[in-house]
């Protein structure tokens, strides 16, 4: 007769309950699916195609966009003509990483893009990245 509280009829459960893990993963998947489209910043433009490696702007980076009408934007805020250099200068006074990404619509005249680049460099920006779409192969 076995006394002592041990029940020899009970088997040890050796299965892992994956239901909580699946629940957490599904919640994370939904969160990423909802927030991923919101992480894109700037104005929608038709980017020119280029055969270069992908270069994605970091979250804290500033994106200057030129739309098909020649309007200039810093992230999503429109900048009046001639104010780009001054606005960027004030934005980057306290920043150590002076980097801007430029997105220009493929229909914008080359001279307009060069003027925008000159204003960005004139604001004291050390690094200027051009955002393009990969060329179709």
List, for residues 7-53, the tens digit of each pLDDT value.
566 777 778 888 888 999 999 999 888 877 666 555 555 556 666 55
Least confidently predicted of 42-46, 66-70, 108-112: 42-46
Structural domain count, the chain = 1
Contacts of 33 (CB under 8 A, 6+ apart): none
| Domain coverage including residue 115 | 41-134
Planar angle of CA 77, 83, 85, nearest 5 degrees: 100
pTM, full prediction? 0.55
**Residue at 31 is within a domain:** no
**Residue at 24 is within a domain:** no
Q: How many CB atoms lie within 10 A of CB 68?
A: 13
pLDDT of res. 25: 92
**Residue at 54 is within a domain:** yes
CATH (domain of 107): 3.30.420.270
């Amino acid at each position: 007769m076995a006394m002592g509280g041990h029940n020899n009829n009970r088997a040890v459960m050796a299965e892992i309950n994956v239901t909580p893990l699946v629940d957490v993963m599904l919640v994370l998947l939904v969160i990423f699916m909802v927030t991923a489209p919101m992480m894109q910043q700037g104005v929608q433009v038709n980017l020119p195609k280029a055969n270069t490696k992908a270069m994605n702007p970091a979250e804290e980076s500033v994106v200057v966009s030129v739309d098909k009408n020649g309007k200039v934007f810093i992230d999503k805020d429109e900048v009046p003509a001639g104010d780009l250099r001054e606005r960027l200068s004030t934005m980057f006074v306290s920043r150590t990483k002076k980097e801007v990404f430029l997105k220009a619509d493929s229909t914008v005249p080359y001279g307009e893009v060069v003027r925008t680049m000159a204003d960005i460099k004139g604001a004291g920006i050390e690094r200027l990245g051009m955002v393009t779409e990969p060329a179709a192969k």
